[in-house]
A and B are shown apart, each in its own frame.
Chain A
Amino acid sequence: MSKKMHIQLTVNGEAQEFLAEPRELLIHTLRERLNITGPHIGCETSHCGACTVTLNGKSVKSCTVFVAQADGAEITTIEGLGNPDKLHVLQEAFKEHHGLQCGFCTPGMITRASKLLEENPSPTEEEVRFGMAGNICRCTGYQNIVKSILAAAAEMSASKEAAE
C-alpha cells in the first residue's frame, strides 16, 4: 500500500476532503466513498462511457482517471445536473422521447450530452452522433437517444431566445 494523500474535490458544487491512495480510480471515489452512484461502472476499460463525468470542463471517463490526478478539480455528475423534483432539460427530453430503455448508460449519456450542447448548442444529427461516440448503449437505443438530445437542444435554444 502506498501512502495516502490528502485530496480535495468539488463535486456538484460541494467541497469534499479525504485521504486516499493515489491509485484509487475516480469512479470508485464517487460511487463508494462519496455515495454518488449516478456514474456507473460499465466496461471499466474506457470504452463504454457509462462512468462519464465532467472534470474541469471536460467530459472524461472516470474509470480512467486516478483520484490523485483529480485533486483540486471541479466535478459534475448527473446528480449535479438535475433531480427528481427538477429535471434537467436533457433528462426531461430523454423521458419524453424514450431516450432510455434499461437506463444503465443514461447518466453517462446525459452528462456527456450536456457538455456537447454547451460546446455546440445547435448540433446537426451527425454532430450529435459524432459527439456521443464515446458512449455505448447496449439496448442499442441510439435513435431515441439522438432524438432526445436534438429535442433538448431545440428546447434550450427556444428558452434562451425567450429570455433574450
Chain B
Amino acid sequence: MIPAAFEYYRPKDMEGVLAVLTEHGDDARVLAGGHSLIPMMKLRMAEVPHLIDLQDVAGLGGISVSDGTVRLGAMVTQSDIIADAVLADAAPIMREASLQIADPQVRYMGTVGGNVANGDPGNDMPGLMQCLDATFTLIGPDGEREVAARDFYESAYMTAREDDEVLTAVSFKVPEGGYAYQKQKRKIGDYATAAAAVQIVKEGGTCARASIAMTNLSDTPVYSEAAGAALVGTSVTDSDIDAAVQAMLGDIDPAEDNRGPVEFKRHAAAVILRRAIARAWSRA
C-alpha cells in the first residue's frame, strides 16, 4: 500500500503553512500525527498532492490551565494528555477518554487537533468537546477566528473549517463536578460502537447541571441538550436516568455498518449512557 506521490513541506511557522494552503487550495492538506490521513492516503481514498507536515511549526504544542480555562495546542498528543498531571486534575475526563483511544503506539502520534479537525464521526474528541462546550481556534489568511465545537460539525468529514484554514488550539472552561467517558468498542483500535461523555454537577443531592454528548451515533458528534435537561433538578435515580436515555435516543441517528444494525446501536447507546451517567454521578 503505497500512496500517490506528493510534494512534502515542513514549514517552521504558520505563515509558511498558510502560504502553501493559499497557493494550492484543496490540493493541500496539513498533517499532524497522520494516523487518520496516512491510512487513507495509502488506500488511495485520499489524494493529497501537497502535504504540509506541522511537526516543526512553532506554537502548536502545550497544555495550559489558567484563569479557569484549559487550552491545548493542536499538536498535543493523546499520550501528552495522559501524562499531564495538571490537566488530569483540572479535566480528568480528557485523560479517561484518551486512554480509550486506539493503542499506545497510535496515542504517541495522534493529536487533539487532528482528532477534532478531521470530522470523522468515529473520533472520540469531537463528542467530548461537545460535552465540554469547547471552542476551536482556527487561523487562515484573514487571521484568527473562534468557532464553538457545537457549531463546528456539519456532516461526516465536513466542518466549519475552510480549506485554507488550520485548527491551532482547543479550549474550554475547567469542567465542574463528576465526569465519565464511557466507550463500547469491538476491539482495541476500533472506533466506538457507542460512546458517551458526561459531566454532572451535584448540589445538595440534586443535579444542578448536566452536559451529555455521544460519539459515532450520527454523521456528526451529538450534543444532547435534552438528555442533560432531563437530569437537572432530579436526584438521578434509575427512572431519571431512563428519562435522560430516552431523550438521548431522540437525538441520535446511527447508521447500520459492520458494527451492527441500527437497533443494536441504539441499544448499545442506551447501555453506555446509563453507565456513564451512573459513574459521573458517583464522582459528582
Give A72 to B108 CA distance when docked, in angstroms. 18
**Which chain B positions have C-beta within 8 A of A2?**
5-8
Query: Contact partner of B189 among A25, A47, A52, A65, CB < 8 A?
Result: A47
Interface residue count for A (Cβ, 8 Å)?
Answer: 31
The answer to whether A66 touches B5 (Cβ under 8 A) is no
Give A112 to B106 CA distance when docked, in angstroms. 12
Stretch at the interface among A10-18, A56-64, A154-162: A56-64
**Which chain B positions have C-beta within 8 A of A21?**
5
**Which chain A positions have C-beta within 8 A of B34?**
64-66, 69
With A23-B4, A58-B108, A71-B10 given, name 5 new contacts (CB 8 A): A22-B7, A46-B38, A46-B39, A68-B10, A69-B31
Smallest Cβ distance from A159 to chain B, in angstroms?
25
**Which chain A positions have C-beta within 8 A of B1?**
44-45
Query: Contact partner of A133 among B31, B42, B55, B188, CB < 8 A?
Result: B188
The closest CB in chain A to the CB of B8 belongs to A22
A139 contacts the other chain (Cβ, under 8 Å)?
no
The answer to whether B6 touches A23 (Cβ under 8 A) is yes
The answer to whether B38 touches A68 (Cβ under 8 A) is no
The answer to whether A46 touches B5 (Cβ under 8 A) is no
A123 contacts the other chain (Cβ, under 8 Å)?
no
**Which chain B positions have C-beta within 8 A of A132?**
104
Binding site of A, secondary structure by majority: helix, strand, loop or mixed?
A: loop
**Which chain B positions have C-beta within 8 A of A49?**
103, 105
Smallest Cβ distance from A30 to chain B, in angstroms?
15
**Given A60-B109, A112-B104, A25 and B8 contact (CB-CB distance below 8 Å):** no
A5 contacts the other chain (Cβ, under 8 Å)?
yes
Q: Tell me the A residues contacting B by CB distance below 8 Å.
A: 1-3, 5, 21-23, 25, 44-47, 49, 52, 58-61, 64-66, 68-69, 71, 112, 116, 130-134
**Given A23-B2, A44-B1, A61 and B106 contact (CB-CB distance below 8 Å):** yes
Highest count of chain B CB atoms <10 Å: which of A3, A52, A58: A58
Q: Tell me the B residues contacting A by CB distance below 8 Å.
A: 1-8, 10, 31, 34-35, 38-39, 42, 51, 53, 55, 79, 102-106, 108-109, 188-189
Smallest Cβ distance from A157 to chain B, in angstroms?
21
**Which chain B positions have C-beta within 8 A of A59?**
104-105, 108
**Which chain B positions have C-beta within 8 A of A66?**
8, 34, 38
The answer to whether B6 touches A134 (Cβ under 8 A) is no
Give A49 to B108 CA distance when docked, in angstroms. 13
Give A61 to B7 CA distance when docked, in angstroms. 23
Closest 8 CB pairs of A and B: A134-B103, A22-B8, A2-B5, A58-B108, A134-B105, A68-B8, A133-B188, A133-B103
Give A68 to B5 CA distance when docked, in angstroms. 12
Query: Contact partner of A61 among B3, B42, B105, CB < 8 A?
Result: B105
The closest CB in chain B to the CB of A57 belongs to B108
The closest CB in chain B to the CB of A71 belongs to B10
**Which chain A positions have C-beta within 8 A of B108?**
58-60
Give A23 to B35 CA distance when docked, in angstroms. 15
